[in-house]
Amino acid sequence: KTPHTPAWLQAIGGLSVGGPDMHTPDAVERGLAELETARRVSGISLLHGAGWFSFNTECWYPLQYRLTADHLRNARTYTDALRAAGGRSSFYTNPLMLSRATPDYELWGRDLATVDSKGRVQFTEHNTHHHPMCLPYPGAAWARRYLQAVEGAVLAGKPDMLYMDQLGAVPAHLDFAPDRHGHRHFGEWTRGSSEFLGTVTDALLPVRPDLGTFIECPNPALQQTVNLSYYGTNRVLRYVFPTYYGLVGSVDVVSPEQALATAQEALLTGEPVTIHYASLVKATAEQQQAVREIVALKQTTDPTLRRARFRDAEGLVPSEGVETTVFDRTNTRYIAYVN
Q: What is the pTM for the complete model shown?
A: 0.95
C-beta separation of 88 from 48 below 8 A: no
Bridge partner residues of 92 (DSSP) = 163
C-beta separation of 42 from 256 below 8 A: no
Which amino acid makes up residue 45?
Answer: S
C-beta separation of 93 from 152 below 8 A: no
Q: Distance between CA atoms of 91 and 51, rounded to whole angstroms?
A: 8
Per-residue tens of pLDDT for the chain, all 339 residues:
889 999 999 999 999 999 999 999 999 999 999 999 999 999 999 999 999 987 666 667 888 888 999 999 999 999 999 999 999 999 999 999 888 888 889 999 999 999 889 988 887 655 555 567 889 999 999 999 999 999 999 999 999 999 999 999 998 888 888 888 777 888 889 999 999 999 999 999 999 999 999 999 999 999 999 999 999 999 999 999 999 999 999 999 999 999 999 999 999 999 999 999 999 999 999 999 999 999 999 999 999 999 999 999 999 988 888 999 999 999 999 999 998
CB count within 10 Å of CB 32 equals: 16
- Name the residue among 127, 27, 39, 8 with its Cα closest to residue 74: 27
Q: Distance between CA atoms of 10 and 243, rounded to whole angstroms?
A: 12
> What dihedral angle (degrees, nearest 10) is formed by the CA atoms of 209, 64, 106, 147?
0
Q: Distance between CA atoms of 305 and 332, rounded to whole angstroms?
A: 11
Let me know how many helices (H) and strands (E) the chain has, helices first: 11, 14
- ∠ CA 209-240-95, nearest 5°, is 45
Q: Distance between CA atoms of 103 and 47, rounded to whole angstroms?
A: 32
Residue 83 buriedness (CB in 10 A; 0-12 / 13-18 / 19+):
middle
Q: Distance between CA atoms of 119 and 133, rounded to whole angstroms?
A: 16
- Name the residue among 205, 279, 236 with its Cα closest to residue 15: 279
